[in-house]
Amino acid sequence: MDTTLESSAAVLDTQKDADGSFPTDKKITVVFVLGGPGSGKGTQCANIVEHFGFTHLSTGDLLRAESKSGSPNGIMIRDMMNEGKIVPSEVTIKLLRKAMLESGNDKFLIDGFPRNEENRAAFENIMKIEPEFVLYFDCPVEELERRLLNRNQGRDDDNIGTIQKRFKVFIESTLPILEYYNSKGKLRKIDAGKPVDEVFEDVKAVLSPFAVEANTCRKSNVSMVLGLEYLIYLVKRLFRAARMLLTHLFHGTALEEGWHAASIQK
Ligand SMILES: Nc1ncnc2c1ncn2[C@@H]1O[C@H](COP(=O)(O)OP(=O)(O)OP(=O)(O)O)[C@@H](O)[C@H]1O
Ligand SMILES: Nc1ccn([C@H]2C[C@H](O)[C@@H](COP(=O)(O)O)O2)c(=O)n1
């Protein structure tokens, strides 16, 4: 398989443990999203979420949040990320699993994972979920560097020293994972060197099998909203009827009392 960087991520088999379990009756769909650092994985995932109803889980974001949470692993994660190294799978998968369960969704874009063979094997062994396919954003290294240096999102690892290390780790550890999924016919390679909208056109073509489900999902959301609105309308009418009845009873009694008092005075 040729890549630009060289030249310069189902079916659920339920797992039960202390963290909880996925519902047995649901098919869990997982799409792994890979590409060099800065290839636009996060950018495109945001578009996919909007159009196809997936939950986007960025392993980098999950690790960054964990490193800042003051957890026992926090310092180790921060140090490894600053060195561009890959955090042990046990840590990453625990975070991923928790986020997947908490989302309540059954379709996941797992961004920046699996980064190496250890990640891939651990996910398969622990989660027992086969990815539907792997979306690979392929982009020239010069463009990656330019994007990362201009990102300006305050990331500690967006400095030239760590960027070079991340490129090296991508070539040595992640490219073999792409080869693996390519050999299984599960790689969907996208030219990520183009403008964002053009890249998304290609992404949409790959994600098209999920379009019908997305429509269904949107339709069911619409009927849920309409159902809720109708319920609110019925409750409002009920309240109005109750108020009219009470007013009628109250006024009736008051009138009766008024009439009674008047007749006594006479
Ligand atoms: N097609 C594109 N053309 C130009 N700039 C882009 C494109 N896609 C993304 N960018 C910009 O490049 C930078 C990196 O994009 P993004 O954060 O989505 O990459 P990433 O692959 O998620 O990075 P990382 O692996 O480091 O988390 C961002 O500033 C983004 O706005
Ligand atoms: N599976 C993963 C994903 C990410 N990391 C670490 C190492 C990366 O350099 C860093 C940033 O990830 P990104 O936001 O660029 O996807 O996070 C990891 O160790 N394991």
Taking only the tens place, the pLDDT of each residue in 219-233 is 455 445 544 555 665
39 Cβ below 6 A of ligand 1 = yes
| pLDDT at res. 221 | 54
pLDDT at 250: 60
Percentage with pLDDT > 90 across the chain: 69
Per-residue confidence (pLDDT) for residue 35, from 0 to 100: 98
Ligand 2 centroid–CA 186 distance in Å is 22
Q: Is 17 a residue whose pLDDT tops 80? A: no
Cβ(173)–Cβ(8) below 8 Å: no
Atom of ligand 2 nearest to the CA of 86: 19
If one compares 186 and 251, the residue with the highest pLDDT of the two is 186
Contact present, 108 and 29 (Cβ < 8 Å): yes
User: Which of 120, 98, 100 is closest to 109 using CA atoms?
Assistant: 100
ipTM: 0.99
Looking at ligand 2, which atom is closest to the CA of residue 37?
Answer: 15
The torsion angle over the Cα atoms of residues 195, 201, 202 and 206, rounded to 10 degrees, is 150
In this predicted structure, the answer to whether residue 215 has a pLDDT above a threshold of 90 is no
Query: Does the beta carbon of 70 lie inside 6 Å of ligand 1?
Result: no
Inter-CA distances, 245 with 20, 55, 137, 238, Å: 51, 49, 66, 11
CB 129 within 8 A of CB 135: no
pTM: 0.79
Q: For residue 163, report the distance from its CA to the centre of ligand 1, in Å.
A: 13
- Per residue in 166-202, pLDDT (tens digit) is 999 999 999 999 999 999 999 999 999 999 999 999 9
pLDDT for residue 87 is more than 90: yes
pLDDT of residue 7 exceeding 60, the answer is: no
**pLDDT of 238 above 50:** yes
- Ligand 2 centroid to residue 112 C-alpha, Å: 6
Output the ligand 2 site: residues, CB below 6 A.
Answer: 37, 58-60, 63, 81, 84, 86-87, 92, 112-113, 115, 119, 157, 166
Write the pLDDT tens digit of every residue in 40-86.
Answer: 999 999 999 999 999 999 999 999 999 999 999 999 999 999 999 99
What is the Å distance from ligand 2's center to 12 Cα?
25
Ligand 1 near 107 CB (within 6 A): no
| Strands of 133-138's sheet in order across | 55-58, 107-111, 29-35, 133-138, 187-191
Position 148 confidence tier, pLDDT thresholds 50, 70, 90:
very high
CA of 161 to the centre of ligand 1 (A): 18
* Three-state secondary structure readout of the chain: CCCHHHHCCCCCCCCCECCECCCCCCCCEEEEEEECCCCCHHHHHHHHHHHHCCEEEEHHHHHHHHHHCCCCCHHHHHHHHHCCCCCCHHHHHHHHHHHHHHHCCCEEEEECCCCCHHHHHHHHHHHCCCCCEEEEEECCHHHHHHHHHCCCCCCCCCCHHHHHHHHHHHHHHHHHHHHHHHHCCCEEEEECCCCHHHHHHHHHHHHHHHHHHHHHHHHHHHHHHHHHHHHHHHHHHHHHHHHHHHHHHHHHHHHHHHHHHHHHHC
Write the residue with the smallest CA distance to atom 9 of ligand 1: 40
